[in-house]
Structure 1
């Protein structure tokens, strides 16, 4: 029997503020009735989650009633679906020789959640059978070709070179709920829904607005590190427009770093010193090359705020800083709850417990994969016996408030829209802490955090439905409800 589509309900200590963006796309901002800040959000994420009260299981994931449980679903309704099983693919780039174990936390999370779900009886009684793929950076298309031949869907995965696999995925109508996307065509791809969307045409600019609140005297003293990598060039261009929307007037110190590394970073650090930069943004993650650049800043005698995406929140960075202390000036913007807040946020504790029980690695991307798995499971539960890719597209396109049970700020997966909330982390030695807002476990939300990006930065053409047109074909599965 088909159950009603998920609805949303506010947490007792929070309320939902609905803001209409300029393009008539619904975005969510959150407010709290605790404290003086009307945009502070209480612990447990956005306070918004899918209400799956009809679930046959009493288990919960944070604020989310479990979508898993016993049932009597029947029928070989689609590829990879039988009376007893649902086959899904997932994976990461852990076999990449230059970075062994790359993003392994994603597979660890999905493996743990599959076990958690099957322990409750699966999805409506069907066992979830996962195939754990290793794209090893350069094998994403080969992986997708294999998945096309056997899997019902791809769920909670993340491949750094997803642009090489997107044409294959769309051609075989493999509906996808990835943990993250990288390329523009995948980020706005057909038949793709993410727990934490990262579309090309809208961005969550919370980190820049919050940095402006934290350091209003420095809005004219930041610069962005340029790169030779095409994807980072595109990202940097977008970041400049977001920073401008937040009130920054960025410097142009003329620094472009070779993605493959430089023989010495000192000359580039000297440029920032001469330019008077007191804050530096990087769109790269914490690679050895980027950490060598941080060392060079210290060598020339400057200590600017070092500012980046959530990829700078993790054990690699904290372990390195424990020995050097050179990133005690680090800030990283996030729309996820911190792992350090597990004692305050039940969903984070649940994630940590499930993954740790299986000896897996806990990290931010793991929580991202977990959110997408839960999103997939919620939709699959609603489909009941009618578990087809068409039903999944219909259900996923109708989920417009999602926080993974409290893992992150509320997003709109159905419309592929990011959150309008965020928090800022800081690092001291090997310890991360929440720097903004001041109360750990709270986000700050504001409709202005949703920034429409310049079309020149998209990297792909979008149709009227905001879906990439590059690999569209007559057989693409589209929502019918």
Structure 2
């Protein structure tokens, strides 16, 4: 089971800007659930009162930066005949994800609940053009993505919404074969990201394009440390391909010099030798693409051997409260594609997600935020169809959406073109919590950050 859990985390680690992790309400640095926000509002503080006055409801015309796509106002016209999953009164959608289980900790926990939260919100608003949403849920159980996709194909759905499975390379042909459009929370593999009729609000994986913005910023902040970098990744394809892409992009565009680059055997537990090698090479900056538990084990071994690292630079999958509370993680930089939970007081759409997640009894996570954003993206495209609700029309509308931030939930992406996002946000672990490091607000974005490699990094 430990090996399976590690594999799951490694598969997720491949995602460039399309992944995140669970952040417990009690440890997120201030972004608690709906009940917490309500209690803060009753406290009478000026900031809390302001936030309460800005709280969104199903009747709100705007959801942060986007119009509210959900309403009970019916569209004029007749529904095209034989539209799968759609009647005059309802739209049937499905979500596929790996659910929580007692044996293996999963990074996708929170996705299904986030889609339930979106459906709850949208139906309270009257549905989409007066059609209420009906949701079917499917547990891909790590290895069963193709099996449940076959079930979804047989269940008369209009589309898949908010999906996210760590082995999403499975079931692609099945989904394409039955014509199911997918508006996903994230993609774990480049095969899924590039599949037919696949869209996500946070595009993250390309075989050739990589966002080197974080590398360039690190080179400015730590010019000496980037000359002595260690990159470790597990020898599984998902992790090694991602690690190699980081090395190629950062060295090509930001002048990183990797004095240690090692693929560690899957399931390795003895990190003494690799830390000794890092010590011998004078490593000052540390990067790793692996499970959180393995990365923490390396950092503990580094502390034991007295290796002082100036920089710990990690990806989105480490935005996890369990990581932040470990003493060896103090000071680590961690990327995020979604608005920090600690900033919920100033982000009404993030509070909306938290409020409705609380109603369905879910646990907040960055992947959950992306799934809620995917629900809003689906609703926006479907709302634009009016009465002409067809899968072909949905695809056309989604292809035309080239700027999307989920109402302020996530960094700006282009679902319609599936381009690599040119934005980034660094958090930093301080006192066991994640705090914003760069930029001071929003995200740091620049088209010049996109590096196109002559090599192809495919998973």
Q: Same fold (TM over 0.5)?
A: yes
| 3-state SS of paired residue (1:104) | coil
Q: 1:179, CA displacement in angstroms?
A: 0.7
Distance in 2 (CA, whole Å) between partners of 1:122 and 1:285 is 39
| 1:140 is the counterpart of 2:145 | yes
Q: Which aligned pairs between 1:361-380 and structure 2 lie closer than 5 A?
A: 361-380=363-382
Match of 1:163 among 169, 175, 199: 169
| Maintained 8 Å contact 2:100/2:109 | no
Structure 1's consecutive aligned runs of 4 or more residues displaced over 3 angstroms after TM superposition are: 56-60, 73-77, 95-98
Taking a change above 3 Å as real, the CA distance of residues 344 and 245 of structure 1, as seen in their structure-2 partners, is farther
Q: 1:338, CA displacement in angstroms?
A: 0.8
CA-to-aligned-CA distance 1:398-449 (integer Å, 9 cap, x gap) = 0111111111221111110132221211002321111112x2x332222221
In the other structure, the counterpart of 1:211 is 218
| Maintained 8 Å contact 1:95/1:134 | no
Q: 1:327, CA displacement in angstroms?
A: 0.5
Taking a change above 3 Å as real, the CA distance of residues 455 and 176 of structure 1, as seen in their structure-2 partners, is farther
Distance in 2 (CA, whole Å) between partners of 1:254 and 1:402 is 36
| 1:256 is the counterpart of 2:263 | yes
RMSD (Å), alpha carbons:
1.9
Q: 1:59, CA displacement in angstroms?
A: 4.1
Q: 1:290, CA displacement in angstroms?
A: 2.8
CA-to-aligned-CA distance 1:299-332 (integer Å, 9 cap, x gap) = 111132221111111222124x1xxx10013111
Distance in 2 (CA, whole Å) between partners of 1:283 and 1:263 is 15
More helix by share: 2
Q: Which aligned pairs between 1:323-362 and structure 2 lie closer than 5 A?
A: 325-362=327-364
| 1:424 is the counterpart of 2:455 | no
Distance in 1 (CA, whole Å) between partners of 2:82 and 2:132 is 15
Q: Which aligned pairs between 1:454-469 and structure 2 lie closer than 5 A?
A: 454-459=454-459
| 1:241 is the counterpart of 2:253 | no
In the other structure, the counterpart of 1:312 is 318
In the other structure, the counterpart of 1:293 is 298
| 3-state SS of paired residue (1:242) | helix
Q: 1:350, CA displacement in angstroms?
A: 2.1
In the other structure, the counterpart of 1:39 is none
| 3-state SS of paired residue (2:134) | strand
Structure 2 residue runs of 5 or longer lacking an equivalent are 1-57
CA-to-aligned-CA distance 1:220-244 (integer Å, 9 cap, x gap) = 1112113211111111121112212
| Maintained 8 Å contact 1:62/1:350 | no
| 1:447 is the counterpart of 2:447 | yes
Distance in 1 (CA, whole Å) between partners of 2:279 and 2:339 is 34
Distance in 2 (CA, whole Å) between partners of 1:317 and 1:91 is 27
| Maintained 8 Å contact 1:401/1:410 | yes
Distance in 1 (CA, whole Å) between partners of 2:107 and 2:337 is 22
Structure 1 residue runs of 5 or longer lacking an equivalent are 1-55, 460-481
| Maintained 8 Å contact 2:247/2:258 | no
Match of 2:387 among 370, 385, 388: 385
Distance in 1 (CA, whole Å) between partners of 2:331 and 2:60 is 44
Distance in 1 (CA, whole Å) between partners of 2:394 and 2:361 is 31
In the other structure, the counterpart of 2:94 is 89
| 3-state SS of paired residue (1:402) | coil
Taking a change above 3 Å as real, the CA distance of residues 144 and 342 of structure 1, as seen in their structure-2 partners, is same
Distance in 1 (CA, whole Å) between partners of 2:363 and 2:313 is 25
Q: Bigger CA drift: 306-315 or 377-386?
A: 306-315
Taking a change above 3 Å as real, the CA distance of residues 409 and 102 of structure 1, as seen in their structure-2 partners, is closer
TM-score normalised by length of structure 1: 0.78
| 3-state SS of paired residue (2:260) | coil
In the other structure, the counterpart of 2:196 is 190
Q: 1:358, CA displacement in angstroms?
A: 2.9
| 3-state SS of paired residue (1:343) | helix
In the other structure, the counterpart of 2:179 is 173
Distance in 1 (CA, whole Å) between partners of 2:411 and 2:261 is 36
Taking a change above 3 Å as real, the CA distance of residues 303 and 143 of structure 1, as seen in their structure-2 partners, is farther
| 3-state SS of paired residue (1:86) | strand
CA-to-aligned-CA distance 1:92-141 (integer Å, 9 cap, x gap) = 21256642454121112111111000001001111111112111111111
| Maintained 8 Å contact 1:425/1:436 | yes
